[in-house]
Structure 1
Amino acid sequence: MVFALRTRRAWFLMKQRAEERGGGWARIWDEGFGDEIKWCEPGWIGHGAVIEDAISMPP
């Protein structure tokens, strides 16, 4: 569940930065990266526990 919240937070932060800061943030938002995050979200959520474990492992 934590990973799902992180992906949603990333989407909202990217949208906010695109609107407020413009520049590269606006460019990648306009190119559809926010849509990519939403499109991939079900897969990320379905594998969230595995991803969480992988990114939490010490090097």
Structure 2
Amino acid sequence: MKYIIDKNIPLPLYYQLKQIIINLIDDGVYKEDETIPTEHELIEKYQLSRTTVRQALNE
């Protein structure tokens, strides 16, 4: 469950995505000075709206 969005739990989707990104950084999947996936890539991968992805990235 570490890297998946669960639309059936009460946690907001943007928060779940934010936590996934943080976990990926903490686990070394994304290294320092390395870019994370683009907004569009995150939308496609996690099947989320642009607004949700933007909110997660802004936080």
Bigger share in helix? 1
Q: Same fold (TM over 0.5)?
A: no
Structure with larger RCO (C-alpha < 8 A, sep 6+)? 1
Structure 1-normalised TM-score?
A: 0.40
Question: TM-score scaled to structure 2, two decimals?
Answer: 0.40
Largest Rg, 1 or 2 = 1
